[in-house]
A and B are shown apart, each in its own frame.
Chain A
Amino acid sequence: MSTFIQTLIVGLRLGSIYALVALGYTMVYGIIRLINFAHGDFLMVGGYTMIFTIPVTLALGLPAWSSVVFAILICAVVGVSTELVAYRPIRKRGTSMTALITAIAVSLLLENLAQAIPAIGPNPVVASQFFSTGGFSVSGVTMEWTTVYTIVISAVVMVVLYQFTQKTKLGRAMRCVSEDKEASILMGINVNNTIVLTFAIGSGLSAVAALMYLAQYPKVYTTMGALLGLKAFVAAVLGGIGVIPGAMLGGLIIGLVESFTTSYVSSSMADTFVFLILIVVLILKPAGILGKNVGEKV
C-alpha cells in the first residue's frame, strides 16, 4: 500500500508540472494553430531568472520563491517578443510549415543564446531551497511540503485559468479567436492583442512551472526545457490539443504512467510506456482524449 501511495505522489507531482507546461502549448495552439516549440525553453528562461533574482528577493527580506514574480515578468516579455518578432511576421507571409520551423529555430536559438551569455554558460547550476524543508507522514510515506505545494499550486492555477477563459471578457475573446478569427474581427475583437495576451499568459505560466519544477528538481541548465517541453507537448496532444482541461488531464496521465511504470513494470521503461500510450490513444481517438473531432478549416 505504501508503495502505491508513494508512486501516486511521484506521479501527481511530475504530472502537475507537465500539465502546467502543457497549458502553454495548448493555449497557443488553440488560438493560432501553432505548436510553439520554444515553450519548453521559456521554462529555462524562468529558471535562470529565478537563479539570478533570488539574491535580490532575499536581500529585500522576501522568501526565495517570490523571485517567481520576476520570472513571470521576464518570461512574459520573452514570450510576447517571440510572437511580435518571429511568429507574427511569419504568419502573415509564410505557411503553417514555415511557422513550425520558426518555432523550432526559436527554441534552438534560446538554448544556444543562453549558453553564450557568460553569466549563464554551459554549466548546470543548482538552485537553492524554495520552500520550507520537511513534511508529514501518511501511512508510512513521507509527504514533503514541496510536493504538497507543487500539486496544490498547479491545481489552483489550472482552475483559475479555466475560469478565466470561461467567465471573463478577455477569456471569451481568446476562445472566440480560437474558434474563428475572421468572425472575431467582425465581432469587434482585437485579434492581435488577444494573441499577444495569450502568449503573455502562456509564457508567464511557464515561469510558475519553472518554480514548481525547481522546487522539486533543483538543477538549471540550458537544455532543461527540451525533454520537458517534449513531454508536455505529448501531454497536450494526448489530452486534446487546444482544449485547456485536456492539457491538465494529459499532463496528469503522463506523470502517473511514468511513475507507475517505474514502480510496477520496469524502472528504465517509463518513457517507452508514455509514448506507447500516446500512440494507442491517438489511434483510437485522433483528436486526443477530450479533443473534438472537427475537420480542418480551409
Chain B
Amino acid sequence: MNKKLACLLLAACMLVSLAACGSGASTTSAAPEASGDAGAATGEEITIGTISPNTGSLAAYGAAVTTAVDLAVEQINAAGGINGSQVKIVNADDQFDPTECLNAFNSLVSQGIGLILGSVTSGCTSAITDAANEEQVCLLTPSATADSITTADDYVFRACYADSFQGAIAAAYAKQSGYTEVGVVYCAADTYSKGLYDSFNAACEKYGVTVKAVESTASLDVQDYTNQFASMVKAGVQFVYAPYYYDVIGPYIVTQARAAGYKGIIMGADGYDTTPDYVVDGADLSVFNDVYYTNHYDPSDTSETVQAFVKAYEAKFGSTPNAISALAYDAVYMYKQAIETAGSVDPTAVRDALADTTAVYTGVTGTFSLDSTGTPAKGASIISFTSDGTKVTTKFVDVVKELPAA
C-alpha cells in the first residue's frame, strides 16, 4: 500500500516537473530567488551519482551512505531543491572492490552524470580519482581518508579529514596519555591501513614516542592475529595502534589480542565505527574495554546541528547514524552549496566552487573550509568502547580540533 502511494507521489512529481519544462520557462540559469519557492520545481532535475559498497564485507558502510543521502536529498527537495531544481540520486555499488568501483564510476559517467559522491573507502576511491580527472567529473568522497586521494588542481574533494591528520591524532593521544613506547599492527596490502600506519609512525617520531614493535598482515582476509599481538606482549608495549575495519576488529582482533595476553590500549581509526554491531553474542565482551578510536563525529554531541541530524535520521530509519552517514549527509550539502555558488551543474563550474578555499561549510561533522588540496580542516573526536561484559557501547572521550605542537 505504501509502495503504491509512493509510486503515485513520484508520478505526480514527475508530471509537475514535466509541466514546468513544457511551459517553456527558461531553465538555463535558475535565479537564486527561485529557491525560495516552496517545492516548485523550476529547473531540470539535478542528478548526483553516488558510489558505495552496498554489498561485500563493508556493506554496513554502503547502507550508511545510501540512507544518509536519501535523508539529505529528501530535506533539500522538500525545501525547494537546489536553485529551484529537484535533486535525483543514482546509486552504484562498488562491492568494496577497486575494479567494481571503476565499473560503477564508468557506468555513472556513461549516463551523463558529472557530479559524483563516493566512494566510501580509500582503496576503492583511489581507483577512480585518475578517471575523474580525465573525464573532468567532479568527485566528492565522504569518507576516503588516504592522503593520496586529493591533490591540488584536480576534480577530487572530500568531506572528511585525511589520514595524516587522523594517524597523528592517535599518536598525540598516546603521548598525552603518557605512553612513550607503542606498537603497531596493520595490513600491508590495504591503502587505508598502510596510510594510517605511515602517518602514525611519522607523528610518533615528531612527538618523541618510540614505535617499538611493528607487525603486519598480508591481506584483510587474515583471520588470526594472535601471533602479532603475542609479539606486542613480548615487546612490552601498552599501546597498540591497529588501523583495521570493524569486520576484523569485532569478531577477530580484540578477542584474540586479549587471549594472547595483551592487556593494554588498542587504538584505531574511523574504520572501528559500527564495531558494536559485529561482536560475538555470548562471549566475554569486557575485552572491548580500553579500545579507542578516532572518528568524524559523535552522535551524543549536544550541538544543535548534530542533534537535528541524529533526530531526523532516527525518525526515518530507526537507528543512530554512524560517522559515515554524517559525512555522506554533509557531502550532499557541500554539493548543494557549491552548485548554488556556481549557479550551474556544470562539473567544471562546481569544481571551481569547491576549490574555493574561502568557502565555509557548516555540517554535522563541524564547520570547516577545504584546503588547497580539497581536504577539510576540521577536528576529530576520540571515542572509546566500554563494556559490562555482555554488550559494547561507545563513550565520547575528547574532541581534538587541531594537532598539538611537538
Contacts and interface: CB of A to CB of B under 8 A. Distances in A.
A173 interface: no
Contacts of B54: 122
A95 interface: no
A263 interface: yes
Contacts of A266: 216
A267 interface: yes
Contact of A268 (B217, B226, B250, B283): B217
Given A115-B55, A142-B261, A219-B247, A227 B221 contact: yes
Contacts of B278: 124, 126, 219
A163 B292 CA distance: 51
Interface string A124-167: 10111100011100001110100000000000000000000000
B244 to A, nearest CB: 13
B207 interface: no
Contacts of B215: 267
A124 B60 CA distance: 9
B57 interface: yes
Contacts of A123: 55, 59-60
Contacts of B216: 266-268
Given A10-B224, A218-B280, A259-B227, A270 B247 contact: no
A155 B280 CA distance: 26
Nearest to B287: A133
B218 A270 contact: yes
Interface string A257-276: 00100110011111110000
B218 A3 contact: no
A289 B222 CA distance: 27
A227 B224 CA distance: 14
Interface string A1-39: 001001100100010000000000000000000000000
B218 A268 contact: yes
A267 B283 contact: no
A210 B259 CA distance: 21
A267 B224 contact: no
A64 interface: yes
Contact of B231 (A121, A227, A263, A271): A263
Nearest to B59: A123
Contacts, number: 96
B217 to A, nearest CB: 6
B396 interface: no
A127 B56 CA distance: 17
A209 B279 CA distance: 21
B101 to A, nearest CB: 15
Interface string B248-277: 001110000001110000000000000000
A263 B231 CA distance: 7
B223 interface: yes
A121 B228 CA distance: 32
A122 B59 contact: yes
B226 A10 contact: yes
A127 B282 CA distance: 10
B76 interface: no
Interface in A160-219: 216-219
Contacts of B259: 135, 142, 144
A122 B251 contact: no
Nearest to B223: A217
Contacts of A144: 259
Contacts of A219: 223, 247, 251-252, 278
Contact of B224 (A14, A133, A135, A141): A14
Nearest to A260: B227
Nearest to A141: B261
Shortest beta-carbon contacts, A-B, top 7: A122-B55, A129-B282, A128-B281, A217-B223, A268-B218, A268-B216, A129-B283
27 contacts: A3-B230, A3-B231, A6-B227, A7-B230, A10-B226, A122-B54, A122-B95, A123-B55, A124-B57, A124-B247, A126-B281, A129-B281, A140-B261, A141-B261, A142-B261, A217-B251, A217-B252, A218-B251, A219-B223, A262-B224, A262-B227, A263-B230, A263-B231, A267-B231, A269-B218, A270-B222, A271-B219
